[in-house]
Amino acid sequence: MTTLVERFLRYVSFDTQSDHTLGCCPSTKGQGILALQLQQELTALQLDDVKLDDNGYLTARLPSNTSTSIPAIGFIAHMDTAPDASGKDVKPQIIKNYQGGDISLGHGEVLSPAMYPELNQLHGDTLITTDGSTLLGADNKAGIAEIITAISYLKANPDIKHGDICIGFTPDEEIGRGADLFDVASFNAQWAYTIDGGPVGELEFENFNASAANVVCHGVNVHPGSAKGKMVNSMGIAAQFQALMPANETPERTEGYEGFYHLNSMQTSVAKTTLNYIIRDFEQTGLAQRKAFMQQKVKEFNIELGCERVELAISDSYNNMREMVEPHAHIIDIAKQAMIECDVQPDIKPIRGGTDGARLSFMGLPCPNIFTGGYNFHGIHEFITVEGMEKSVKVIVRLAALTAQKYA
């Protein structure tokens, strides 16, 4: 029988980085290749309604094993990894019975409790890390492995009564498109859970309201040998504009419910520089204030420059799912109870980002987020614990059983 860890290690071998510059869905071929692999596995489990559509969305259903009318629930994870670090040729390392101290990953990288104090709480656990050159892919291949392992366990233990369990694996979540083409109606769940959180116990039904802001700085390019009084370097303008942004309202200086402005990437040349920001706030009023702040700074900066050299375009990305989930408080209560019964202390906290669940909640599928057991997503210091993954599987199984018990 395939184990949880074997599944996870197999899935992270697929290069599934998404790419926001490409308009197709899925945005990269690797996601489609993984989807085909997962389709074969779900079919081999003899699940019902296994379907992989042309856009890379994979769904399936474990049918109810009771005659009682039980609400259909879903579990959802995404197949892509973040563009922030390479997901190609991932070489996981397994650290058994971690006893503290620094972990040399390779490539000059060290996983240290000095930087990541949560390591101090993981003594005795088995860690799966990177080799220091790529991300790991626990976000969100751990979620996929955990869902399939839980479904496999339910299949093998028919004495655990449950209603219909709907499974969904989506592409392009990391570039904000994961829910774009998700067919909520045909998924046919009354509510769902994304298995896309971090450390053990995380249970989330709040996320940032999110917008993207592109600041385009226009310069004038002239040969540097005759540039005096003529050249206007757009990169210098961009640097001046970035200096106007609040230095203490960035991701690395905020936590909890604090919002931020994040310069995420830039494209530069003398003639034109584009600064790509993401703006985040848990309250709509706060997000509106942040957008207004940027608009005002652009206006003032252009006045200072004496001409319209800076343009700003803002687009909204997703909203805080709290308003869509709170009216269905029972789905949070069931998740909390499932965790407690699995000896996991629920840690209810806001998501300092977004998930497919945020968008899906506004599409009529209330969808809180549950932990995977992973840490430091999106970078070369990403790692996950085997024990955390195992607890996630137990919570999924217990969630299915508790739902059946409550509605029996």
Q: Provide the CATH number for the domain around residue 216.
A: 3.30.70.360
The C-alpha atoms of residue 131 and residue 121 are separated, in whole angstroms, by 22
Residues 172 and 224 in one domain: no
Sign of torsion over alpha carbons 364, 149, 354, 177: negative
CATH number at residue 153: 3.40.630.10
Band the pLDDT of 189: cuts 50, 70, 90: very high
Q: Do 175 and 274 reside in the same domain of the chain?
A: no
Tokens linked to 117: 């104090």
365 and 337 inside one domain: yes
Could you list the beta-strand ranges (E) of 145-283.
165-170, 191-197, 202-204, 209-218, 260-267, 272-281
Q: Where does the pLDDT of residue 353 fall: very low under 50, low under 70, confident under 90, or very high at 90 and above? A: confident
Q: Which CA distances in Å does 78 have to 138, 147, 239?
A: 10, 11, 36
User: Do residues 185 and 114 both lie within one domain?
Assistant: yes
User: In angstroms, rounded to a whole number, what is the distance separating the alpha carbons of residues 288 and 160?
Assistant: 48
- Is the pLDDT confidence value at 15 over 60? yes
Residue 92 CB neighbours (<10 A): 19
Is 333 noted as a catalytic residue in this protein? no
Same-domain pairing of 365 and 383: yes
Q: Binning pLDDT at 50, 70 and 90, where does residue 222 land?
A: very high
Question: Cα separation of 162 and 63, whole Å?
Answer: 8
Please give the C-alpha separations between residue 402 and each of 63, 140, 160, 336, 399, in angstroms, as whole numbers. 16, 25, 10, 11, 5
Q: Tell me, what's the pLDDT at 20?
A: 86
Query: Which of 318, 343, 365 marks a domain boundary?
Result: 318
Q: Name the region of 156 (left: φ>0; alpha: ψ -120 to 50; beta: rest).
A: alpha
Q: Judging by DSSP bridges, how do beta strands 369-371 and 191-197 pair with one another?
A: parallel
Judgement on whether residues 331 and 234 belong to the same structural domain of the protein = no
Look at residues 264, 289, 318 and tell me which one is the last residue of a structural domain: 318
- CA end-to-end span of the chain: 31
Percent above pLDDT 70 for the chain: 100
pLDDT higher than threshold 60 for residue 1: no
**Of the listed 164, 173, 206, 382, which one is catalytic?**
173
Do 22 and 142 lie in one domain? The reply is yes
The total of other beta-carbon atoms located within 10 Å of residue 106's CB is 14
What is residue 310's predicted lDDT score, i.e. its pLDDT? 98
pLDDT value for 354: 81
CB burial string 190-222: b at 16+ within 10 A, e below: bbbbbbbbbbbbbbbbbbbbbbbbebbbebeeb
The answer to whether the pTM exceeds 0.85 is yes
Domain that holds residue 112: 4-206+320-407
For residue 117, give the amino acid letter. Answer: P
pLDDT in tens, 62-80: 999 999 999 999 999 999 9
- Span 119-155, pLDDT tens digits: 999 999 999 999 999 999 999 999 999 999 999 999 9
Report the pLDDT value the prediction gives residue 408, as an integer from 0 to 100: 81
Domain boundary among 318, 352, 387: 318
What average pLDDT does the segment 360-365 reach? 96
Structural tokens at position 355: 């998930």
pLDDT at 265: 93
Cα–Cα dist 102/98, whole Å: 10
**pLDDT value of position 308:** 96
Per-residue model confidence (pLDDT) at position 317? 86
Average pLDDT in the chain:
96
- Are 265 and 358 within one domain? no
The answer to whether residues 149 and 240 belong to one domain is: no
What is the mean predicted confidence (pLDDT) over 214-226?
Answer: 97
Q: How many folded domains does the chain comprise?
A: 2
- Contacts of residue 299, defined as CB under 8 A and 6 or more positions apart, other chains included, come to none
Question: Is the domain of 389 the same as that of 261?
Answer: no
Greatest Cα-to-Cα distance within the chain, rounded to the nearest angstrom: 84
Are 143 and 86 in a shared domain?
yes
Q: Is 173 a catalytic residue?
A: yes
Catalytic residue among 80, 139, 206, 249: 80
**pLDDT-based confidence at residue 96 (cuts at 50, 70, 90):** very high
pLDDT at 264: 92
Burial class (CB in 10 A: 0-12, 13-18, 19+), 114: exposed
- Indicate if 191 and 213 belong to the same structural domain: no
